Amino acid sequence: MKILVCMKQVPQKDAPLKLNETGAWIREDVSYEVNEPDAYALEEALRQKEKHSGEVVVITSGPARASQVLREALAKGADRAIHLEDAAFVGLDALNTAKAFAAAIKDEKFDMIFTGLQSDDYGYAQTGVILAELLSWPHATIIMQIEKNDAGIRVKRELEAGYFQFVDMPLPAVLTIQSGINKLRYATLIGIKQAKNKPMRKVTLADLQSAIGTNLQKIERLYVPQKTKNTEVIEGPPAEVAKKLVEKLRNEARIL
Amino acid sequence: MSILVVVEQREGKLNRVSMETLTAAQALAAETGWPLEAAVVGSNVAAIASEVGGKKLAKVYAIENAKLEPYTPDAFAHALKQFVTTKNPKLVLMPHTYQVRDFIPKLATAMGRTAISDCIGYKKEGEKLVFTRQMFQGKLAADVSFTSEAPWFVTFQNGAFRGDKVEAGASAAPVETVNVDIPDGVIRNKPQEIFKEAKQAVDLTQADIIVSVGRGIKEQKNIELAQQLAEALGGELAASRPICDNGWLPMDRQIGSSGQTVAPKLYLALGISGAIQHIVGMKGARTIVAINKDSEAPIFEIADYAVVGNLFDIVPPLIEEVKKSKT
């Protein structure tokens, strides 16, 4: 099994975000981390390789800082990495990101491509499905289990409200992976050491320019959402906060 | 020029979230002057098409082929590409369900177009339409426009519009059956029956009071603290997805798009940041109390009472105060 895992670096969950001078993106001087569902996608790829042997390749796009995600993946056990390195990749829409990935891997032959089910920054939940369409591969989304069989794979899709469904599909295929499909591993010291000698291929924006078009959608502006609720902030030392809160719940909300 | 709403049916039943999309579409139709049409995709969907035809719209299409049942992304994208290409609507609107997000990126890409997904509203700015969507897990909102030719694909988040506000039509809209062609070999996936993992042991939808924990609880052993608060309040314990993913609480206590949707009298969120996927499952609560150390956590956007602070400092005295108030 040769598996490609698409990964993304996103601002840390509790990073305070500020708008940049364009008003259409954030200031990038924040702390970053791996997009959480992508970490599960990587873990699943490593587990599939351990079961069926093969190779795990990780790919990301973004400025130099994004290579941290790839280094961590290599330390956890991925075999090699591809970095589409340019700050401009951050501003591509999902279609162009998928086009860039497709162009970067055109000489490779993967059995499966994994992505996280969505990113914590844009949250489009589209790149994986678009990539499948560009490659003319079948896909399945929000996957909680993958079993290889003679004809291809059987995957377990998560549906809404606690429902699930098994789907049989041929390979090659694109799967978008749900958080919680497995238990994440930590990188070992040996893994971190070995990662330094693993190959990381850099691809520039110029290499891919001919494959990418103009964005089909545009962020006009970014802003802090307007509050729709009148929120009452309760302040003070913990004991006082507790007392006030119970009073409010009894006298205003009439719950207690 | 028209607006097309693709409603969602599953196993012969109209998914009610489709009514929210219709409400949005009716408002858009009124503002743009574009006629509103709807489509149902599946096999033997005439009855659903008639049901939708009772709403205020110009026409309903029943897009039929036996191969559209059960749902596959291949068949749905193929059928809708044929239909949308023929009708060439300006806007194609759908609810942002797990099914729609499974096929709409494929459909839009196959047509050389794009979808603005998971929107919570729209604005008409002169002749330009912009669609509002949450970004960075709800911390920021973005107004997004199309820079490509129509048809423009848009999906709306569950709960973004009021389904009960959809206008009924003066008379039933005509229903037209459109038989689409799906050649052999188009469908590559073989879906099996839909099932529930296990009998849900807890029905959180019936609880008046819910104490819910998120990542801020830090360790499994700290769940006990939230449990004590739930007991003092006479409520149920619930959690956001990461807590259940970690196995700290069973999956049937999960609130959000992949778990249960609740509307209790009191929802007390402990250390929950309030990612969109969680919010959609609890924003209908009558009173929301949020305790979180991050003052910018999106949960505070929808909270009635906000406490910015360490839950481990606040919850112990809160348990005592609740107990006192009950004696």
- pLDDT per residue as tens digits for the range A45-57: 999 999 999 999 9
Distance between CA B142 and CA B121 in Å, rounded? 10
Residues of A in contact with B11 (CB under 8 A): none
Q: How far is B103 from chain A (nearest CA, A)?
A: 8
A150, A177, A256, best to mutate vs chain B, most B CBs in 10 Å? A256
Q: How far is B136 from chain A (nearest CA, A)?
A: 4
Q: Do B286 and A233 touch (CB under 8 A)?
A: no
Q: What is the pLDDT of residue B203?
A: 83
Domain limits, chain B: 3-179, 204-325
Q: What are phi and psi of A20, to 5 degrees?
A: -90, -175
Q: Do B106 and A129 touch (CB under 8 A)?
A: yes
Mean pLDDT of the B19-40 span: 97
Q: Do B109 and A130 touch (CB under 8 A)?
A: yes
Pairing type for strands A55-62 and A80-85 reads parallel
Pairing type for strands A32-34 and A55-62 reads unpaired
Q: Which residue has the tokens 């039509």?
A: B169
Encode pLDDT of B191-239 as tens digits. 999 998 766 678 898 899 999 999 999 999 999 999 999 999 999 999 9
> Does the beta carbon of A249 lie under 8 angstroms from any beta carbon of chain B?
yes
Q: What is the pLDDT of residue B200?
A: 63
B311-325 vs A238-251: helix axis angle to the nearest 10?
50
Distance between CA B94 and CA B151 in Å, rounded? 13
Residues of A in contact with B244 (CB under 8 A): 180
CB A205 within 8 A of CB A89: yes
Q: Do B142 and A219 touch (CB under 8 A)?
A: yes
Distance between CA A51 and CA A87 in Å, rounded? 37
Q: How far is A52 from chain B (nearest CA, A)?
A: 22
> Does the beta carbon of A232 lie under 8 angstroms from any beta carbon of chain B?
yes
Encode pLDDT of B233-290 as tens digits. 999 999 999 999 888 999 889 999 888 889 899 999 999 999 888 998 999 899 999 9
Q: How far is A10 from chain B (nearest CA, A)?
A: 9
Q: What is the pLDDT of residue A13?
A: 85
Q: What is the dotted CATH code of the domain comprising B3-179? A: 3.40.50.620
Least CB–CB distance from B266: residue in A13, A238, A253:
A253
> Does the beta carbon of A119 lie under 8 angstroms from any beta carbon of chain B?
no
- For residue B326, the tally of other CB atoms under 10 A from its CB is 11
Q: How far is A63 from chain B (nearest CA, A)?
A: 19
ipTM value of the model? 0.93
Q: Do B307 and A133 touch (CB under 8 A)?
A: no
Domains B3-179 and B204-325 share a fold: yes
* Inter-chain contacts counted by CB atoms under 8 A, chains A and B: 246
What is the rounded average pLDDT for all residues in chain B? 94
CB B261 within 8 A of CB B280: yes
Q: Do B286 and A253 touch (CB under 8 A)?
A: yes
Task: From A89, A190, A151, select the one nearest A6 (Cα to Cα).
Answer: A89
Q: Do B302 and A167 touch (CB under 8 A)?
A: no
Q: How far is A145 from chain B (nearest CA, A)?
A: 13
> Does the beta carbon of B136 lie under 8 angstroms from any beta carbon of chain A?
yes
- For residue A200, the tally of other CB atoms under 10 A from its CB is 16
* Percent with pLDDT over 90 in chain B: 85
Q: Which fold has domain B204-325?
A: Rossmann fold (3.40.50)
Q: Do A225 and B297 touch (CB under 8 A)?
A: no
Q: What is the pLDDT of residue B258?
A: 80
Q: Do A256 and B322 touch (CB under 8 A)?
A: yes
Of all residues in chain B, the one with the smallest CA distance to A215 is B147
> Does the beta carbon of B144 lie under 8 angstroms from any beta carbon of chain A?
yes
Q: What is the pTM of this model?
A: 0.90
| Chain B (11-70) residues lying within 8 Å, Cβ to Cβ, of chain A | none
Distance between CA A239 and CA B269 in Å, rounded? 18
> Does the beta carbon of A132 lie under 8 angstroms from any beta carbon of chain B?
yes
Residues of B in contact with A125 (CB under 8 A): 101, 105, 117-118
Q: What are phi and psi of B155, to 5 degrees?
A: -115, 145
3-class secondary structure per residue, chain A: CEEEEECCEEECCCCCCCECCCCCCECCCCCEEECHHHHHHHHHHHHHHHHHCCEEEEEEEECHHHHHHHHHHHHHCCCEEEEEECHHHHHCCHHHHHHHHHHHCCCCCCCEEEEECCCCCCCCCCHHHHHHHHHCCCEEEEEEEEEECCCCEEEEEECHHHEEEEEEECCCEEEEECCCCCCCCCCCHHHHHHHCCCCEEEECHHHHHHHCCCCCEEEEEEECCCCCCCCEECCCCHHHHHHHHHHHHHHCCCCC
Mean pLDDT of the B309-325 span: 96
**Residue B198 class from Cβ within 10 Å (0-12 exposed, 13-18 middle, 19+ buried)?**
exposed
Residues of B in contact with A174 (CB under 8 A): none
pLDDT at position B314 over 90:
yes
Residues of A in contact with B251 (CB under 8 A): 162
Least CB–CB distance from A223: residue in B109, B140, B321:
B140
Which residues of chain A are under the pLDDT cut of 50? Answer: none
> Does the beta carbon of A248 lie under 8 angstroms from any beta carbon of chain B?
yes
Least CB–CB distance from A121: residue in B135, B191, B209:
B135
- For residue B26, the tally of other CB atoms under 10 A from its CB is 20
